[in-house]
Amino acid sequence: MADRLLDGYDALLFDLDGTVYRGGQVIDGAADAVAAARAERTTVRFVTNNASRSPGQVAEHLTGLGVPATADEVSTSAQAAAAVLARRLEQGDHVLVLGTSALAAEITAVGLVPVRTATGVKAVVQGLSPDLSWNDLAEASVAIRAGALWVACNIDRTLPTERGLLPGNGSLVAALRHATELDPEVAGKPATPLMDESVRAADARHPLVVGDRLDTDIEGAVAAGLDSLLVLTGVSTAADAIAAGPEARPTYIAADLGAITAAAADLAIGPKPGWDLRTEGDEVVVTGDGDPLDLVRALCAVSWAALAPPRITGDHPVLAELGLTRAR
């Protein structure tokens, strides 16, 4: 294993919402982390499940937050969804678009025709839009029930913002699932189309996926056979990581993106100095006085090795701070 995390990978695939920024606010350490990767000539790729903005708009937003980026460094779930549709449909076929003009533009770019009504469509593509209405969902329901291919850009239940967690595209996909009793084909994380496209665009042989969500970023990395870093700046918590199933277990855990210049061994899952974890039946008793995140990494190792997540006990206040158990 390389000394520094950054040294072990030829590309970093950064998630955005909850990892680099929250809405209009950059997350502490994100700009410095991206700059450090660029300084080492490590390829940087911004990979987002959010389909509401074009790559150019994403790059402009990042640059405005102090994270310089160009459109050709951005991969979106809208692009991935358009690529899925292009492989399945004929040139000139009509696609009902539930989403922004940015999503419609990606559909046009692959030779398909974006429309807003169900008549004569061969497919429905669904991405997040703040202007989505009941009428849009009704048109999609008609088309899907008539046999149209249904592709969801992503199924994120929530969207991290500076105001907190707001409904994501997955919440609206759930409404159509309930209405049609059918499931969409998914283009974004954790499905592989977006991840595969990102690796190809980065021309990477050994990339690292960096994100804040176990159910999208990390699960997507696992599905694609890639190493991953979970940062605790967004949706998933330390408790979530400890309870994660095999399909969503990160290679490394860190507080934020500043960790990319830290030693890889320090961030890896496994026993850590300063903490003693003693297994007693279905319980893990915690004692010690080390780094709180080292405790998380050590608990992940113990929990993941067990047949079922063990109950964590002990009177250390760090357990309560991490939301793992009550302080006694």
The residues annotated with a catalytic role in the active site are: 15, 17
User: Are 243 and 323 in contact, with CB atoms under 8 Å apart?
Assistant: no
Query: How far is C-alpha 221 from the chain's CA centre?
Result: 9
Residues contacting residue 281 through CB under 8 Å, at least 6 positions apart: none
Helix (H) or strand (E) holding 47: strand 43-48
Q: Which of 152, 110, 101 is closest to 129 using CA atoms?
A: 101
As to burial, measured by CB atoms within 10 angstroms (0-12 exposed, 13-18 middle, 19+ buried), residue 105 is middle
CA–CA separation, 229 vs 252, rounded Å? 5
Say how far apart CA 293 and CA 283 lie, in whole Å: 20
HSE of 270 in the Cβ direction (CA atoms, 13 Å)? Answer: 7
Cis previous bond, 190, omega within 30? yes
- β-pairing, 158-161 with 164-167? antiparallel
